[in-house]
């Protein structure tokens, strides 16, 4: 990605120089940098607010109740995990954050979930030793499933997108809700089917 973005920037600057628009390129760089900082501050405030709300809900036991209702889903997606394991706890937090469209706030729970899944994967590899079919450096089925479902991320309330649209003056920022639900529902359904097919091939 570093080379890709670096190359795109370099090509843009060179094209602007050869086309005689180097001053316009410079002005665009300066204005875009300021806009990027402004957007980051706005989104940081929104993310901090919703992360705080999620933390309050977690301390009040609401997240645990919602996570308990997700157990059938987690058992279907991750049949090899214990429902009360730390991995399932963090997976639930990540899924709930994504469900409410707070994808930035779900990052920490997602990293902790992957860390727990990686630990379980290494323990399983050590338990079976050389007779196992994969090395500790190979992602487990649960790790792959979590990554794919996390990327597809079903969203009922796309708060981040609503915030973006509000920031840039949309007349109806919440108009994205319907299309977002449809798009993420389809992508998540495709992700689940794909994971189950691949699990069947592995099995």
**DSSP reduced 3-state for 119:** helix
Eight-state DSSP code of residue 175: G
DSSP H stretches of helix in the chain: 2-18, 22-59, 62-69, 71-77, 86-99, 107-128, 141-152, 159-167, 177-202
- Confidence (pTM): 0.68
Confidence bin at 134 (pLDDT 50/70/90): low
How confident is the model over 101-115, as pLDDT tens digits?
Answer: 776 667 778 888 899
Stretch 75-89: mean pLDDT: 85
How confident is the model over 8-48, as pLDDT tens digits?
Answer: 888 888 888 888 777 887 888 788 888 788 878 877 777 77
How confident is the model over 137-196, as pLDDT tens digits?
Answer: 778 888 888 988 888 878 887 777 787 788 778 888 888 888 888 988 899 899 889 888
Q: How many CA atoms lie within 13 A of 71 on its CB side?
A: 8
Give every CB contact of residue 84 below 8 A, 6+ residues apart in sequence.
Answer: none
Q: How many CA atoms lie within 13 A of 92 on its CB side?
A: 24
């Amino acid at each position: 990605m570093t080379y890709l973005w670096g190359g795109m920037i370099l090509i843009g600057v060179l094209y602007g120089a050869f086309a005689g628009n180097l001053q316009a390129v410079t002005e665009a760089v300066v204005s875009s940098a300021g806009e990027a900082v402004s957007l980051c501050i706005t989104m940081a405030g929104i993310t901090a607010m919703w992360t705080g709300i999620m933390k309050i809900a977690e301390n009040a036991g609401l997240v645990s109740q919602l996570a308990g209702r997700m157990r059938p889903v987690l058992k279907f997606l991750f049949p090899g995990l214990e429902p009360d394991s730390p991995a399932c706890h963090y997976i639930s937090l990540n899924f709930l954050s994504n469900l409410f469209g707070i994808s930035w706030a779900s990052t920490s729970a997602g990293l902790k979930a992957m860390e727990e899944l990686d630990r379980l994967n290494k323990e399983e590899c050590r338990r079976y030793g050389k007779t196992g079919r994969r090395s500790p450096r190979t992602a487990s089925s649960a790790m792959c499933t979590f990554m794919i479902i996390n990327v597809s991320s079903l969203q009922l309330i796309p708060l981040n997108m609503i915030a973006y649209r509000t920031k840039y003056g949309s007349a109806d920022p919440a108009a994205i809700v319907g299309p977002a639900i449809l798009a993420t529902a389809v992508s998540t359904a495709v992700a689940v089917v794909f994971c189950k097919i691949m699990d069947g091939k592995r099995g």
